[in-house]
Amino acid sequence: MENNMTHYKIPFLKPILALLTTSIILGSIALVVLAAYLIIAPLTSSASQVSLPVLMQNGLQFAVPVHAESAGMYSIYSFVVVITLFLSLLFLFFLRKAVDSLSKKNGFTELLPQAFRSMGLLLLLATYLRQFHLYLFLQLAGPVAHELLHFSFTPITSEVLYALALLALGKVFSYALYLQSEYEQAV
């Protein structure tokens, strides 16, 4: 009977788990479709004629289509877009693992600090990769974009602070697990 109690799930986290699972599935499908488009589109026309997708925040869209200057630049740009989105999907995967771990009533597990560390590192990497992506995009956008937009590398963004908080949270949970194991050994 007690064994059933340790695996009882907290009910209010169930919809969050379902939402994260759905997001991971839909995001994976969208990433595969985008990657296929980025591979097939230049095969059907020249790489300089294919509009490049841009990852901007808060619903911002670039109204003028931007084209790559060469096949090499198109490949680099496409690779950066796909890797950035893949890192975001990995972040969601580790977030789902952390929520799943928290939803069980068997206390903290080693999975939780590992998930927080992984999420922090992925967020850090994705933040700087997205800045590189925007830099590439604005280099390809031409003089019209340079009149309206200016890129400057920002080493400390809000996402970097969130990543550092996740890394610190991973350390806190790791130390809590250490204290818990010391307590269990002492008793």
pLDDT band at 3 (very low <50, low <70, confident <90, very high): very low
- The arithmetic mean of pLDDT across residues 138-161, rounded, is 78
Name 25's Cβ contacts closer than 8 Å, sequence gap at least 6.
none
Asked whether residue 94 is assigned to any structural domain, the reply reads yes
Residue 144 has what pLDDT? 66
In eight-state DSSP terms, residue 59 is T
Q: Whole domain around residue 170: which residue ranges?
A: 9-186
* pLDDT tens figures, 20-43: 999 999 999 999 998 998 888 888
In a domain, 85, yes or no: yes
The pLDDT value given to residue 6: 43
In a domain? residue 55: yes
Beta strand segments in the chain, E: none
Backbone angles phi, psi at 104, to 5 degrees: -90, 145
Q: How many CB atoms lie within 10 A of CB 173?
A: 22
Question: Cβ(15)–Cβ(99) under 8 Å?
Answer: no
pLDDT of 5: 45
The domain total for the chain is 1
> Is 165 a member of any domain?
yes
| Token duo for residue 36 | 């296929």
* CB-CB contact of 156 with 114 (8 Å): no
Identify which of 90-104, 107-121, 123-137, 157-171 has the greatest average pLDDT. 157-171
Q: Looking at the domain assignment, is residue 2 inside a domain? A: no
pLDDT at 184: 79
In a domain, 4, yes or no: no
Average pLDDT, the chain: 82
CA dihedral 88, 118, 7, 3 (to 10 degrees): 160
Helix, strand, coil tally for the chain in percent (to 5)? 75, 0, 20
Residue 1, in any domain of the structure: no
> Is residue 3 in some structural domain?
no
Q: Is 108 helix (H, G, I), strand (E, B) or coil?
A: coil
Per residue in 50-96, pLDDT tens? 777 776 666 566 656 677 777 788 888 889 989 999 999 999 999 99
> How many contiguous H segments (helices) and E segments (strands) does the chain have?
6, 0
